[in-house]
Amino acid sequence: MRPSSILLALSAAVGAIAHQVEVPAEVPRNIEDFKAKHPTSDPRNAARGLSSRSGPLRTRWTMPTTAALYLPKDSLYMIGKPLDLTFLDDVQIHWDGEVKFTNDTPYWQEHAFAHPFQNSLMFWKWGGRDVKIYGDGVLNGNGQRWWNEFAGLEILDPTNTYLRPILFYGENLTNFEMEGIHEKDSPCWTNFIVTSKNVAFRDVMCTAESNNATALPKNSDFFDSLNIEDLTVERVWVNVGDDCFSPKSNATNVHVDTMYCNGTHGQSMGSLGQYAGEMSFVQDVVIENVWLLNGQHGARLKTWAGPDIGYGFIDNVTFRNFWQANNEYSAFIDSCYFNINSSTCADYPSKMNITNILFENFTGYTSGKYGTAVAKLTCSTNPDAVCENIEFRNFTVKSPCATDAEGEDAKPIIICDGIKGGIGMDCIPAASDEAKAALKKKCSVPLAEIDPPF
């Protein structure tokens, strides 16, 4: 899949189906447009060369607790050992060079930092107060070898022992900002922020592109979190093989505004409820002004089912102003996440409540993988799991499988199961004849081609 200009990608919809997606004129058409439209901060507060010694292959650098650090353009900082930076206080990093990790996979699997959540590894750890990273630099995870060696495996398989490091990990951060950086080729998740408050990512680019068609980037989410409060994500350009955005357990007061996502799994809440006996929640979230191309789903909520799961809730989440081209379901509630078979889900349904969810101003078209079904909302059958006040407003996503010649029976449909009350639009059960017929009307459309690449 080749990423490309947002304009060309969305205008390609005109050739695929007979409706137009309105694209605002100010949307960046490529990564150069994105950088020009969203420049980084004025670097006057950074002290050039402070506490850094650079070289073409390897760098040793020490971080002052209170100061500024400058990583100049055209300098390479190669990191080959775990680095603990959890002690920072009032630090600014003007980052114009490239920081790159070695790809010695046996060494990192043996020596990297670890976190128990989904057996995560980390190259380094950041923490402290009032930390700002900004500039036109690159954070390079050197992920190709990791992807090659991980091919065919699953991160959530309990037997998996091939663990891959996260590119940027922060814990106990207060007042953290990243601005302008290009995060590139992470072996696993790109960002994982834990037990932190007042965190912001602005004008950041995130890409993961493989040169091996049999080993594509996997689990390379742009953003994941655990126990985070007051999160802002603004103006981000993402081309990865997994979630464009995905806060996990215990996230509150989250605002995402303006993301351009190609080849992703969508804007996701979760997954949640994975661990037995543990409570998890996501609450008070607004995600708006999102362009999603050539991906799996659009707006997604995902919770676990099974005999050994946790409980909790997703509450007060708004997905607003989503433009889509060639995604599977444009809106998706999955209460049986990660390859759990239907009989297990029926016997041990999810214990997560899902309430007060709004899908507003959705336009574009699906991939046709699910025929004329453009959204699917499947709530838990657990009698103690509440699923209510799920609302659609101004939802006009089309299916490429619905043509005028097929008439009314081919209209786009929304599949709903287990929701208390209506959603503001027609919604039919998955077991109905109408839903089964809609799902059989499979078709396909070309990739929303984008050139020049991200």
CA-derived radius of gyration, the chain: 22
User: What number of other Cβ atoms are within 10 A of residue 441's Cβ?
Assistant: 19
Q: Would you say 126 and 86 are in contact if contact means Cβ atoms under 8 Å apart?
A: yes
DSSP string, 329-389: EEEEEESSTTT--HHHHHHS---EEEEEEEEEEEEEEE-STTTTEEEEEE----TT--EEE
Query: What's the count of helices (H) and strands (E) in the chain, helices before strands?
Result: 7, 26
Phi-psi category of 361—alpha, beta or left, where left has phi over 0 and alpha has psi -120 to 50? left
Catalytically annotated residue among 38, 94, 265, 297: 265
42 catalytic? Reply is no
242 catalytic? Reply is yes
Catalytically annotated residue among 96, 203, 242, 243: 242
Handedness of CA 190, 199, 6, 242 (dihedral sign): positive
Length of the chain: 454
| CB-based contacts of 175, cutoff 8 Å, min separation 6 | 129, 130, 131, 197, 198
Give the residue among 354, 351, 250 at the shortest CA–CA distance from 306: 351
Q: Which two tokens stand for residue 383?
A: 């009698």
Query: Cα(382)–Cα(351) distance, rounded to whole angstroms?
Result: 7
| Catalytic center residues | 242, 265
